[in-house]
């Protein structure tokens, strides 16, 4: 199991079972986990989404801290789902995505739903969709889902950004 996936799993289990937050000591972190990046944590049970929360711009001092924050949020704060219960912990499959900084694109031709995630923005509304999701095979579909998530009406002009992820299972 990748160390970030183990960190997400251990964090969720500690929080759900004991209400405690994983404590990290910077001197114990591997160098690649001391950097800053956006992180998404997705939880699935038997292939079905059970929670997914993340940040495309880091809020915490390190990737490890961002992982802890977003793992707890995915388990307890995804508005689409009830909080994870202790009876579900053994069945959860974890995915940790580390995002590259978003870059503005000038055309949909610069997007590819297999390679790039997308951020759409209209005014203050922003929506994000991770790359390489099952059933999301076209740029237009990827953009439409991100717009829907942001509450942006179809036909509204949007600014597009793309990013890549390193995905760990």
DSSP E strand boundaries for the chain: 39-45, 48-54, 92-99, 103-105, 117-122, 125-129, 159-163, 165-168
The domain defined by 3-99 carries CATH number 3.30.700.20: yes
Work out the pLDDT band at 72, boundaries 50, 70, 90: very high
Q: Which CATH class is domain 103-164?
A: alpha beta
Q: How far apart are CA 142 and CA 138, in angstroms?
A: 6
Domain boundaries defined on the chain? 3-99, 103-164
pLDDT per position as a tens digit, 78-134: 999 999 999 999 999 999 999 999 999 999 999 999 999 999 999 999 999 999 999
Rounded Cα distance between 88 and 123, Å, is 39
pTM as predicted: 0.93
Averaged pLDDT for residues 7-14: 98
């Amino acid at each position: 199991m990748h160390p970030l996936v183990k960190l997400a799993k251990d964090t969720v289990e500690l929080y759900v079972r004991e209400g405690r937050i994983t404590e990290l000591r910077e001197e114990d972190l591997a160098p690649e986990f001391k950097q800053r990046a956006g992180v998404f944590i997705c939880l699935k049970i038997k292939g079905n989404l059970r929670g997914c929360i993340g940040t495309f711009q880091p809020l915490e001092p390190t990737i490890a801290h961002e992982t802890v924050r977003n793992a707890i949020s995915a388990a307890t704060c995804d508005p689409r789902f009830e909080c994870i219960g202790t009876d579900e912990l053994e069945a959860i499959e974890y995915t940790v995505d580390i995002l590259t900084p978003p870059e503005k694109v000038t055309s949909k031709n610069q997007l590819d739903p297999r390679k790039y995630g997308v951020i759409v923005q209209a005014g203050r509304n922003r929506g994000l969709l991770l790359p390489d999701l099952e059933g999301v095979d076209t740029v237009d579909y990827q953009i439409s889902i991100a717009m829907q998530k942001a509450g942006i009406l179809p036909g509204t002009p949007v600014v597009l950004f793309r990013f890549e992820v390193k995905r760990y299972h």
